[in-house]
């Protein structure tokens, strides 16, 4: 398993890409309301990334291969029981919907990857709680990051917090190393046992992006080859940040104004 430790120059570029990805989520927040389509949100984000940030939306055509079309849009919009990789469409949002928007931008060859939950109008209390606990899972996972910690430490703290609150952790999708490549080693599981797995080293960069389900953990991918949903059709939530392992902790590249965790530990 090859993990790339980033140089100071690479870290500088990733910091910029991460800030841009966070900015897209901040920009789109005011546009999310009943009656708006996810296609319209996709257009707004695409134009902001391309025209304002002079960057590239990484999901567009991602994964294209002979006989397999790439992802058709510039952002992922995962609504209600969609776990991840939801494709924007022309169906209007309605009051009470919950949605994850996942943004990845490429700037100067480096990737910034982040996502957050949005509530459309007033949502049920239990939907709000799932969203909040999932963000807490992300924060708890980030807070154990430092040189010498292990990937299993991240997985265990996330799994324990989710299950203590009566929710389940998706197994089929996980966080990942990131840099000048969208998805690289290591894989960052959101369940596991502390003290196991790869040891974290200064210069590692990866995402933590727990997907937490209201019901059972099982998922299935729809016929479009992308959209993953909960098998029991219950709600799913996800929050994601890209971070760096520093000499004594972590630095979050994709921090937003609405975050309540420190950008840098220590």
- Extract the annotated binding site: 85, 102, 113, 176, 183, 209, 240
- Residue partners of 47: CB distance under 8 A and separation at least 6: none
In angstroms, how far apart are the furthest CA atoms of the chain? Answer: 49
CB 78 within 8 A of CB 99: yes
- The answer to whether residues 192 and 157 touch, using CB atoms and an 8 Å cutoff, is no
**Six token digits for residue 112:** 């910034």
Report the alpha-carbon distance of residue 175 to residue 191 in Å, rounded.
11
Alpha carbons within 13 A on the beta-carbon side of 172: 16
Q: Whole-angstrom Cα distance, residue 112 to residue 152? A: 24
Provide the 10 A C-beta neighbour count for residue 35: 11
Annotated binding site for substrate: 85, 183
Binding annotation for a divalent metal cation: 102, 113, 176, 209, 240
Rounded-to-integer distance, Cα 171 and Cα 151, Å: 15
Pick from 6, 15, 1: which is nearest to 204 by CA? 6
Taking residue 215's Cβ as centre, other Cβ atoms within 10 Å add up to 16
- Local structure of 88: helix, strand or coil: coil
Considering only CA atoms, which of 136, 146, 112 is closest in space to residue 251?
A: 146
Paired tokens of 266: 């220590």
């Amino acid at each position: 398993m090859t993990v790339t430790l980033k140089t100071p120059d690479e870290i500088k570029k990733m910091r910029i890409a991460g800030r841009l990805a966070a900015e897209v989520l901040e920009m789109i927040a005011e546009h999310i309301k009943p009656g708006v389509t996810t296609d319209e949100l996709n257009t707004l984000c695409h134009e902001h990334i391309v025209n304002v940030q002079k960057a590239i939306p990484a999901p567009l055509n991602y994964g294209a291969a002979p006989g397999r079309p790439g992802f058709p849009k510039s952002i992922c919009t995962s609504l209600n029981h969609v776990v991840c990789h939801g494709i924007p469409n022309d169906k209007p949002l309605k009051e009470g919907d919950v949605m994850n928007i996942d943004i990845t931008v490429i700037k100067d060859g480096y990737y910034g990857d982040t996502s957050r939950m949005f509530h459309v109008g007033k949502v049920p209390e239990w939907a709000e709680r799932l969203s909040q606990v999932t963000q807490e899972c992300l924060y708890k996972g980030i807070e154990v990051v430092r040189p010498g910690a292990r990937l299993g430490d991240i997985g265990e703290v996330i799994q324990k917090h989710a299950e203590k609150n009566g929710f389940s952790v998706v197994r089929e999708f996980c966080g990942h190393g990131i840099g000048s490549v969208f998805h690289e080693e290591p894989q960052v599981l959101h369940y596991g046992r502390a003290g196991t797995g790869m040891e974290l080293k200064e210069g590692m960069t990866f995402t933590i992006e727990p997907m937490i389900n209201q019901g059972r953990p099982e998922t299935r991918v729809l016929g479009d080859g992308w959209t993953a949903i909960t098998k029991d059709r219950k709600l799913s939530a996800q929050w994601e940040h890209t971070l760096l392992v520093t000499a004594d902790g972590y630095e979050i590249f994709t921090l937003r104004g609405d975050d309540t965790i420190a950008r840098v530990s220590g």
